Chains A and B, each alone.
Chain A
């Protein structure tokens, strides 16, 4: 069980600048799964990813990756982070695909002393896997959005990461590139036995490839096989009966005494002065 369980999250709550963004998350991801994480803007998808990476601290609950805590030494290198190339890659740098993918082989031990041509095979293999052999020595600024995203994935592959997290990789790339990118991810999952957790807005695209879907909106509203994922109507219903909204309405009415009463008193005072 230890070996097959990649990610284990229990009772996780994370707040950002004082506001609870995700709460009571329970999640298990097993080796070889391709999980699609979907949800509207601001639903906490990125927060969950950043918490898994260890960038954001959790208020409650535990996260275990391969049995270790986020950012702990034993798991670094087993996780690959694929940022959204369209948003993250600096525009003003001249760097070739090969130079970028080579950076994936760095770690804290080998960053000072790099042997010439070290990890060359791994780099070449990663270039091949993402299908950028023809443009390996081209400046990434001259590539299409899809190719650039592939290069970023190649960087994660060069690090030999087994668990790959992707943040909106389909943003800023055209239809054809999107299809081939999804095919690439599918291959990585089936042939290379990588575990994939991918965040996306593109519900239709992600349903084509992911085995399992998670719908997140503050908490997990749906977690199950892709074929069981609710259709648009049912999804609307799922979001409509959100307890979040229900609570707030109640609060405005009766509960939440402290803030309401203070507000009332202040209003009363100012009214009195006015009169």
Chain B
């Protein structure tokens, strides 16, 4: 049976080979011709698109760090999966991440713990579980394990790509359907409830989507760097956009730019792809933030910022 990821790859493969001759650099063009790199590029783009949409909502909900928390939880899941000898440890990560997301959401809505505290507990607890399990039952931090921490495009085999593509596409479709309800409950939950919207159910579904998307990002950018694609492009978009819709579009532009530029630089200078993407995303944010401040100071020198 052919999975969603391989189907997408078959569809865009010819287009990528068409682009290959104009791709700059010496190593970078391989991303458009060699199947292993093609898989990585497709996965990276899919993940970035979903992360951008998700991140825009996370930012407004003041949940910027939940991605980081769930990524650490996923790493715990990966470790357990590896020790148990799973062929695809990402499934364990998905299970761990979704359960944790639901528990964090419930703890926050029931006000057992407010704010980031519940995220912090899950983050450290599950990361610790992963490290302990790896040390006691496995071979410690091997290079494979490191790939999950810092991202390794070479880890993305056909099976992974299928999982990443399925999660991304399903999440994107769900987010499109939830768009209005999510925006409404994000901005004024009480008003949304009075209008008859199922505020709690929407929050729960959103948490599950977040958990799944974070898992799909772990291989591409690494558990430690997930926030770079989840939050940074969305935060950059907010500096430029004037409406929620415009912010979403800008987020995509910044996110995709970070992916292409990051992959290009990492390929040419042989640096880690995940860290280079994260670095580029942060630099884009800095560039936009500084130019905005300078421009505003020149155009409206007398206005209080």
When the two chains form their complex, are residues B195 and A104 in contact, meaning their CB atoms are under 8 A apart? yes
Docked Cα-Cα span, A60 to B168, in Å, equals: 49
| Interface residue? A79 (CB, 8 A) | yes
From A6-14, A84-92, A239-247, the one touching the partner chain is A84-92
Please state if A114 and B180 are interface contacts (CB–CB under 8 Å): yes
Closest approach, in angstroms, between the C-beta of B122 and any C-beta of chain A? 24
Residues of B within 8 A of A92 (CB): 59-60, 62, 238
CB of A172 to closest CB in B, whole Å: 16
- Distance A10 CA – B197 CA, assembled complex (angstroms): 28
Bound form: Cα–Cα A155–B192 in Å: 10
Whether, in the assembled complex, A30 has its beta carbon less than 8 Å from a beta carbon of chain B, the answer is no
Residues of B within 8 A of A113 (CB): 177
Name the segment of A19-27, A93-101, A218-226 touching the other chain: A93-101
Q: Inside 8 A of A159's CB, which chain B residues have their CB?
A: 195
Task: Give A88 to B181 CA distance when docked, in angstroms.
Answer: 18
**Interface contact B194-A80, CB-CB below 8 Å:** yes
Determine if B26 is an interface residue (Cβ-Cβ < 8 Å).
no
* Chain A, residue nearest B174 (CB): A112
Enumerate chain B residues within 8 angstroms of A80, measured Cβ to Cβ: 194
User: Is the pair A106, B197 in contact by a Cβ cutoff of 8 Å?
Assistant: yes
Asked if B12 is an interface residue, CB under 8 A from chain A, the answer is no
Structural contact, B191 and A76, CB atoms closer than 8 A: no
- Contact in complex: B184, A106 (CB < 8 Å): yes
A81 within 8 A of B: yes
- Closest CB in chain A relative to B48 CB, distance in Å: 20
A252 within 8 A of B: no
Interface residues of B in 182-210 (CB under 8 A from A): 183-184, 186-188, 190-198
Q: How far is the CA of A112 from the CA of B180 in the complex (A)?
A: 8
CA distance A104 to B194 in the complex (A): 10
How many residues of chain A are within 8 Å of chain B by beta carbon? 38
Tell me if A96 and B243 are in contact (CB < 8 A). yes
Sort chain B's interface into a size bin.
20 to 34
A36-67 interface bits toward B, Cβ cutoff 8 Å, 1 = contact, 0 = none: 00000000000000000101000000000000
A139 pairs with B187, CB closer than 8 A: no
Docked CA distance A83–B180 (Å): 19
Nearest opposing residue in chain A for B240, CB measure: A94
CA–CA, A77 and B193, complex, Å: 10
Cross-chain contact B247 with A94 (CB below 8 angstroms): yes
Asked whether B195 lies within 8 Å of A93 as measured between CB atoms, the reply is: no
Query: B191 touching A94 by the CB < 8 A rule?
Result: no
Which residues in chain B, 19-76, are within 8 Å of chain A measured between CB atoms? 59-60, 62
Q: Which residue of B lies closest to A81 (CB)?
A: B194
Contact of A53 among B194, B242, B243, B244 (CB under 8 A): B194
Nearest residue in A to B250 (C-beta to C-beta)?
A94
Q: What does the 1/0 interface line of B93-116 toward A look like (CB < 8 Å)? A: 000000000000000000000000
- Residues on A facing B (Cβ under 8 Å): 53, 55, 71, 73, 76-77, 79-83, 88-90, 92-96, 99-100, 102-104, 106-108, 111-114, 137-139, 152, 155-156, 159
Known: A80-B194, A94-B247, A99-B245. 9 other contacts (CB 8 A): A81-B190, A82-B191, A92-B60, A94-B242, A94-B243, A99-B243, A103-B187, A106-B197, A137-B242
Kindly list the 10 A-B residue pairs having the minimum CB-CB distance in the complex, ordered from nearest: A76-B196, A111-B181, A81-B194, A96-B243, A93-B60, A103-B184, A95-B244, A108-B196, A112-B177, A139-B242
